[in-house]
Amino acid sequence: MAPRVFVTIVSPNVRSTLLTTHALGINIELEEIDLNNKEQFKPSFIKLNPQHTVPTLQDDDDFVVWDSHVINGYLVDKYGGIDDSLYPTDMQERAKVNQKLHFDTELSLLASRIMKGILHGGKKSAPQEQVDEILERYDFLEKFLAMNTFVALGHMTIADFSLIATVSTIDIFVPLDAKKYPKIAAWMKKMQALPYYAANKNGLDKIRNQIAAALEG
């Protein structure tokens, strides 16, 4: 049975998992959860995931786990075969990847607050305080990329999938200054050149349209 993943494609977290599955060449069964219609609160979904978040992975019929970072690591461990480059088994390399995944958690929470304010709170822009927080994280990411070709190591990992999904979303409402952050801009171009980047772009385009409609409304 193919792994089943409950998704909402506009979610950056979901998009990172879709990038991971494409990179691994995994056939998965997708089930869309309509958050606007509160489908995440259906008893059948709550039974699987009491936190009612997406993505949620159901594998081997009865194994269920949520949080994109955990899911992505699990998928590499189970389906990556002998190539562990996306989530290295070496303890020190994995620690570096995990650190950047925690950094993404912090950044994605900031993004979520801003998006909720625009999409559901009637705000027409991100509050300056939140913009300043995002810019500080851009500064950090630029420094990370001065140390390595990719965000955690010298090669691509699941940390890149998580952060490209988050950063490309944040870029909608806190545009990245490519002159100030040339290493981030170059890294984004490398990620956008991936043959399976559509796994991020499709949901990104959809959330961009939703944000544009909210700002015009």
Span(s) in the chain for CATH 3.40.30.10: 4-79
Residue 166, pLDDT score: 98
Q: Are 54 and 11 in contact (CB under 8 A)?
A: yes
Report residue 198: phi and psi, to 5°. -55, -25
Give the number of C-alpha atoms closer than 13 A to the C-alpha of residue 33, restricted to the C-beta side.
Answer: 25
Q: Architecture of domain 4-79 in CATH?
A: 3-Layer(aba) Sandwich (3.40)
Span(s) in the chain for CATH 1.20.1050.10: 91-216
Residue 128, pLDDT score: 94
Q: Are 87 and 143 in contact (CB under 8 A)?
A: no
Residue 126, pLDDT score: 86
- Cα dihedral: 21, 153, 105, 15 (round 10): -20
Structure tokens at 168: 């490309």
141 three-class SS: helix
Block residue for tokens 């691509």: 156
Residue 187, pLDDT score: 98
91-216 under CATH 1.20.1050.10, yes or no: yes
Residue 39, pLDDT score: 92
**DSSP notation for 179-209:** TT-HHHHHHHHHHHTSTTTHHHHHHHHHHHH
Q: Of 2, 9, 8, 7, which Cα lies nearest the Cα of 26? A: 2
Q: Are 11 and 36 in contact (CB under 8 A)?
A: no
Residue 60, pLDDT score: 87
Mean pLDDT by 10 residues, the chain (217 residues): 93 98 96 93 96 96 94 97 95 98 96 91 88 97 98 98 98 96 98 98 97 85
Residue 215, pLDDT score: 83
